Amino acid sequence: MKKIIKISSLLTKYIGIIIIIFSGLAFLIPQGFAWTTDYTSVFLGVAMFGMGLAIKMGDFQIVFSHPKEVIIGCVAQYTIMPLAAWLLAVIFQLPEDLAIGVILVGCCPGGTASNVITYIAGGDVALSVGMTIISTLIAPLMTPLLVYVLAGTWVKVTFWSMVLSVVKVILIPVLLGILIRSLFGKQIQKISDILPLVSVVSIVMIISGIVAINTEKIIACGILVLCVVALHNLLGMMLGLVAAKVLHVEYSKATAIAIEVGMQNSGLAVSLATVNFAANPLATLPGAIFSVWHNISGSIFASIRQSSLNKDERLELKYKTN
């Protein structure tokens, strides 16, 4: 068990590198990973179930103990990222498929990887978890609504079909995980250290599959998508940080908000693109590339914030004592 826990910890810490390695393998040996696309929704549901199992009822106290920061984070999540996605799609005059994919990424809730990156950055992990929980629980309403409003320019969006998709792959698995955790807390606690492994494997399988079936398309338009995805992610983190600073949020919490806003549940974007936009096969590509990119950029951002942590905390302390 100790070896499994150690492996789980390492895989979670270096998920960005692992995704890059498997994406490379899927690109070179697509036939070995293409099969996973038939189970995209299943893999995402398993990842969300794992997230639910990791949530303790006490975690919801975070929402009530830091209501201001949670509200700022969730509002920023569902305004900055969707609008930035739409703006980039217009500026770059993206083809229909790619525009839909970028907007899908922008309209999704925060990803669970944000909690790990927040920890590395020295941010407020409890707040990060709280924001992820709330943005995920309201996703069945917010994600379809925002996609309906913003992507309707390019394609007809079936609102209730998307609501049902999000409920099936996000809400039900998360709530089921929370329920089982509340009923069998002691037993689940014994395996809590290996739960992240479930999410890591699931996300890696989702991304590898999308890369495998889109090798030719990645060669054709991968650079364009990468540029848009990188800008989208950067805008999210920077504007999230600016919003937190303008509203006088302290350093560790501002770090958590910036990371939460910039890092999306891109697995959900891929799943929604697969199920609801089958006529637009390239719509899955932005989500797949975002999954790779935001782990890289998030780690870099975390290093920058960590290196300036002590300096900023000293300045905050000096400000408070004057």
Pair of tokens at residue 195: 């739960």
| Per-state percent for the chain, helix, strand, coil, to nearest 5 | 85, 0, 15
Average pLDDT over residues 109-117: 80
Q: What is the pLDDT of residue 127?
A: 87
pLDDT tens for 195-223 read 777 777 887 888 888 888 888 878 878 78
Is 99:259 a contact under the CB 8 Å cutoff?
Answer: no
**Per-residue pLDDT at 257:** 94
User: Looking at residue 122, what DSSP letter applies?
Assistant: T
Top pLDDT among 94 and 130 is at 94
Q: Could you give the C-alpha distances from 277 to 75, 92, 191, 205, 272, in angstroms and in order?
A: 27, 21, 37, 20, 7
Closest CA to 129 of 111, 143, 142: 111
Among 60-74, 135-149, 300-314, the least confident range: 300-314
Q: Is the pLDDT of residue 1 over 60?
A: yes
Task: Return the pLDDT at 320.
Answer: 43
Confidence of residue 233 (pLDDT cuts 50, 70, 90): very high
Three-state DSSP class for 264?
strand
The CATH architecture of the domain made up of 2-321 is Up-down Bundle (1.20)
Q: Is 321 exposed, middle or buried (0-12, 13-18, 19+ CB in 10 A)?
A: exposed
CB 215 within 8 A of CB 37: no
The 10s digit of each residue's pLDDT in 52-110 is 887 777 767 777 777 889 999 999 999 999 999 999 999 999 999 999 999 999 999 98
CA distance 95 to 71: 34
Mean pLDDT of the chain, nearest integer: 84
> Interhelix angle for 251-262 vs 285-307, to 10°?
160
Q: Is the pTM of this model over 0.85?
A: no
Per cent of the chain over pLDDT 90 is 30
Provide the β-strand partners of residue 110: 264
Asked whether 199 and 50 are in contact (CB, 8 A), the reply is yes
CA–CA gap between residue 198 and residue 216 (Å, rounded): 30
Residue 4, pLDDT score? 74
